[in-house]
Amino acid sequence: MNPTPVIAIHGGAGTILRSALTADAEAQYHAALQAILQAGQRILADGGSALDAVTEAVRLLEDCPLFNAGHGAVFTSAGTHELDASMMDGVTLEAGAICCVTRVKNPVLAARRVLEASEHVLFTGAGAEAFAAAQGLEFVDPSYFHTDARYQQWLNARGSQGTMLDHDAASLDGPIDPDKKFGTVGAVACDARGHVAAATSTGGMTNKQPGRVGDAPLIGAGCYANDATCAVSTTGTGEMFMRMLAAYDVSARMEYRGASLEEAAREVVMERLPRIEGRGGLIAVDAQGNVTLPFNTEGMYRGFARVGETPVTAIYR
């Protein structure tokens, strides 16, 4: 039997405390998540592929300044922006990713072109931008990625000398605890044919060193999709997700051990990652249309929508 198509998205995890997010900010996040889920839902309802649904959802998340990807990307220690994105198709196991780009408006679209038009999987820096230009993608001046909220965050982070995950400060303009700051966006979907896909995009961590690459553009760490198991997109302390191959580990637990989607995702987020102080979460779907959104932080901007049903969005635990 064909599954009911479903899409899930995240906008980053971290110390998002109810007490620190204003009602207005909270409403803005819910509204953005709802609108983006509805866009994904429409693609799936019209018979679109999981790959198309996750591409469009992540493109919209990149364009929204509330999230640390595309337009809302965080600052490096040099005061610049370096963006990373990846995507994978569960049907063919084809994948595409780019990292350290500074002028590509929508990194996820570049990842999609790598998946479709290149024999390679990952391009970095100048080579990634040359590829994106050859593919006719839209470029912007680096100042496009400047948002005042992230700039303030960066000034705070510089004062404390650390790197930060994007959403650890409950309010974008509040003081930031250096150990608490993640962002990143992602989407996973299962379409009407039971095919799955995943996409992840990020500005990385506030005040990261130039050239630092996290899990988001690495297939198996921040993104993975396989029709035989699941599609996964992660957010959190990228270095720990890389060391745990977190996204692939969810799939491997299903494939090798017969774990359910929920069990596999819970083990990775609640048991494996905490062993090395990995903080964050992930979203995952399988080819039967099951969805799970576990995280081990105080909050994760997240939601899912099945075709024909009202989207569900949430922020806190």
Please list the active-site residues. Answer: 184
216 binds ligand ASP (CB under 6 A): yes
Among the listed ranges 91-99, 114-122, 201-209, 258-266, the one in contact with ligand ASP (CB under 6 A) is 201-209
183 binds ligand ASP (CB under 6 A): yes
3-state SS of 210-246 is CCCCCCCCCECCCEEECCCCEEEEEEECHHHHHHCCH
- Binding to ligand ASP, residues 278-297 (CB under 6 A): 280
Q: Which of 204, 220, 289, 294 binds ligand ASP (CB under 6 A)?
A: 204
Distances (CA, A) of 310 to 7, 54, 236: 12, 18, 28
96 binds ligand ASP (CB under 6 A): no
Binding mask 147-176 for ligand ASP (x = CB under 6 A): ------------------xx----------
Provide, rounded to whole angstroms, the least separation between the CB of residue 211 and ligand ASP. Answer: 13
- The stretches of 46-147 forming alpha helices (DSSP H) are 50-63, 107-117, 125-134
Q: Can you read off the two tokens belonging to residue 120?
A: 């390679």
> What are the phi and psi torsion angles at 292 (to 5°)?
-145, 145
Among the listed ranges 48-56, 107-115, 197-205, 258-266, the one in contact with ligand ASP (CB under 6 A) is 197-205
249 is in an annotated binding site: no
235 is in an annotated binding site: yes
Binding residues for ligand ASP, total number by CB under 6 A:
17
310 is in an annotated binding site: no
Q: Label residue 236 left, alpha or beta by phi (over 0 means left) and psi (-120 to 50 means alpha).
A: left
Residue whose beta carbon is closest to ligand ASP: 238
24 is in an annotated binding site: no
236 binds ligand ASP (CB under 6 A): yes
Q: Could you give the CA distance from residue 58 to residue 72 in angstroms, rounded to a whole number?
A: 13
Question: 303: closest CA among 3, 7, 5, 4?
Answer: 7
Q: Decide whether 41 or 184 has the Cβ nearer to ligand ASP.
A: 184
Among the listed ranges 29-37, 97-105, 148-156, 202-210, the one in contact with ligand ASP (CB under 6 A) is 202-210
List of residues 6+ apart from 20 with CB closer than 8 A: 169, 170, 171, 174
Provide, rounded to whole angstroms, the least separation between the CB of residue 14 and ligand ASP. Answer: 7
Q: Which of 3, 11, 12, 289 binds ligand ASP (CB under 6 A)?
A: 12
Q: How far is CA 206 from the centre of its chain?
A: 16
Question: 205: closest CA among 228, 235, 234, 232?
Answer: 235
- Between strands 122-124 and 95-101, the pairing is parallel
List of residues 6+ apart from 42 with CB closer than 8 A: none
Show binding-site residues for substrate: 212-215, 235-238
**Chain residues in the site for ligand ASP (CB under 6 A):** 12, 68, 165-166, 182-184, 202, 204-205, 214-216, 235-236, 238, 280
